A and B are shown apart, each in its own frame.
Chain A
Amino acid sequence: IVCQPAKILNFLRRQKYNADYELTAKQGADTLAYVALLEEKLLPAALHTFWVESDNYFTVTKPWFASRIPFPLSLILPGRMSRGALNRILLTRGAPPLYQLQEVEAQIYRDAKECLNLLSYRLGTSQFFFGDTPCTLDAYVFGFLAPLYKVRFPKVQLQEHLKQLSNLCRFCDDILHSYFRLTLGGTPPAGPESVDANLRKLTQLVNKESNLIEKMDDKLRQSPQLPPRKLPTLRLTPAEEESNSFQRLSP
């Protein structure tokens, strides 16, 4: 069993699946740097939006997770995840002179908005972060942005900010449309038209890779010590189920 996105990516690489064939060394280095940026600046705010903000947590996240976990764990685990998230935020960002939780919150949301702006500048007008084919960084960014973009929360300040960055929204929509609206066994997603067998295999592998990363994206927001079998199933499912589940959850 493999958990945490970085470990999954390493595991897949050892199995010879790799979306980064065509990246230069510098682009590989950039990937590592942007991943660090996301983890440092965006993750605390994402954790806060999902697990700490009480309106969001009690109306959306907790019922959602609890519905997939067997009783009596459904009473214990979401609370534990929430406390773990708050702990992580306070330990990493709650250093003095930010003594009040509101000040810490203000700071992490400010950092997250700045991070989203930076991602938007970096993406510019291209389809993916390194040209026309997706790679690990695209999968990673998508894993962070898509839940923030799509899940309907009562308190939505980060989502509002994200919606103003049209190129990031277009990026999420493109990937959702290409890789998640079709079943895994279906035809390869829209990309450069080619009958080259290798290219088709590559796109299928990227498909699988980003799917797996999405699945384990829940893990990223939770305590790393939790065993994976207690996790709920994939959140982003094919179109019909997706719209149904969102309608069920919105108040």
Chain B
Amino acid sequence: MSLVAEAFVSQIAATEPWPENATLYQQLKGEQILLSDNAASLAVQAFLQMCNLPIKVVCRANAEYMSPSGKVPFIHVGNQVVSELGPIVQFVKAKGHSLSDGLDEVQKAEMKAYMELVNNMLLTAELYLQWCDEATVGEITHARYGSPYPWPLNHILAYQKQWEIKRKMKAIGWGNKTLDQVLEDVDQCCQALSQRLGTQPYFFNKQPTELDALVFGHLYTILTTQLTNDELSEKVKNYSNLLAFCRRIEQHYFEERGKGRLS
């Protein structure tokens, strides 16, 4: 958003409290949504749960096209629509709720750096696996991505998206990577997260922050999604403190609030 538009949105956001009927839109859970989108959506849900803000999850086949930035998830609050975790965190902050106020400047810098690490490595690896690994693309991605649409639209949209993602991978230098190299990067990233977490309950000790929500979203989705092979989830399972971390957040923020287990 341009600077003016952002300032305008913050002003408007600040004047109204969080409504009861806020909704989060994502793609269809059972048949359509992909690994990376599911991770992003779960991260936002976790973040809003951590802030104690009620949100209703609505699944729509065209969620990607409804979103202002083309990415899911997006939230519809009052008469505003905000997509992606970064802008949503800022929007929620404008309404007066924040998880990272207690951090000093150095810790905030660290938090931002780790969030970029997750986005840079984990999210890119997920996109690579979904769209550039032929086995996964053929068996899972194409079928799921185009499932709500009739032939030939389902094929066209899937190929178009694949071409777009491959272009982006090539531009950032991941185009020539093999699957093994990508899995090694994921392992490095998980190792870094595991070392940073250590034995603490959350990344910044007692209170969860948006970093915890983001890491939870990605790791939980990787652990619970069925893919053609289990190598990705095996990489995460090597780190027991990360597993305990996911379990803790799931229990505390999702089960205890009466939402039942996450599917």
Query: Which residues does A use to contact B, with CB under 8 Å?
Result: 4, 25-26, 28-30, 32-34, 36-37, 39-41, 87-88, 91-92, 95-98, 103, 106, 110, 118-119, 121-122, 124, 224
Contact = CB atoms under 8 A, between A and B. Distances in A.
B71 A30 contact: no
28 contacts: A28-B192, A29-B191, A30-B110, A32-B188, A33-B117, A33-B192, A36-B119, A37-B112, A37-B113, A39-B116, A39-B120, A40-B119, A91-B171, A91-B172, A92-B171, A92-B172, A97-B1, A97-B69, A103-B2, A106-B2, A106-B3, A118-B109, A118-B112, A118-B113, A119-B109, A121-B108, A122-B106, A224-B173
Nearest to A39: B120
Contacts of B196: 26, 29-30, 33
B167 interface: yes
Contacts of B168: 91-92
Instruction: List the 8 closest pairs (A to B, CB-CB), nearest first.
Output: A29-B192, A118-B109, A33-B113, A36-B117, A37-B113, A121-B105, A36-B120, A25-B195
Contacts of A30: 110, 113, 196
A30 B120 CA distance: 14
A29 to B, nearest CB: 4
B102 interface: no
Contacts of B173: 4, 224
Interface of B: 1-3, 68-71, 105-106, 108-110, 112-114, 116-117, 119-121, 167-168, 171-173, 188-189, 191-193, 195-196, 198
The secondary-structure label for the interface of chain B is helix
A121 B106 contact: yes
The secondary-structure label for the interface of chain A is helix
Nearest to A121: B105
Nearest to B70: A96
A15 to B, nearest CB: 19
Contacts of B3: 106, 110
Nearest to B119: A40
Contacts of B71: 95
A40 B120 contact: yes
A98 B71 CA distance: 13
Contacts of B113: 30, 33-34, 36-37, 118
B132 to A, nearest CB: 15
A105 B110 CA distance: 25
Nearest to B71: A95
Contacts of B106: 121-122, 124
Nearest to A224: B173
A184 to B, nearest CB: 29
Contact of B109 (A91, A106, A122): A122
Contacts of B68: 96-97
Contacts of A96: 68-70
Contacts of B112: 37, 118
A33 B192 CA distance: 8
A30 B114 CA distance: 8
Contacts of A98: 1
Contacts of A37: 112-113, 116-117
Given A96-B70, A224-B173, A29 B193 contact: yes
A44 to B, nearest CB: 11
B126 to A, nearest CB: 15
Given A29-B193, A33-B110, A92-B168, 13 more contacts: A25-B195, A26-B195, A28-B195, A30-B110, A30-B113, A32-B189, A33-B116, A33-B192, A37-B113, A40-B120, A87-B171, A97-B68, A118-B112
A41 B113 CA distance: 10
Best-surrounded residue of B106, B112, B167 (most CB of chain A within 10 A): B112
A36 B121 contact: yes
A118 B103 CA distance: 13
A32 B185 CA distance: 11
B119 to A, nearest CB: 7
A98 B112 CA distance: 22
Best-surrounded residue of A33, A92, A118, A119 (most CB of chain B within 10 A): A33
A139 B154 CA distance: 48
A77 B230 CA distance: 43
A53 B189 CA distance: 34
Best-surrounded residue of A32, A41, A103 (most CB of chain B within 10 A): A32
Nearest to B1: A97
Best-surrounded residue of B108, B191, B193, B195 (most CB of chain A within 10 A): B195
B224 to A, nearest CB: 25
Contacts of A41: 116
A118 B106 CA distance: 7
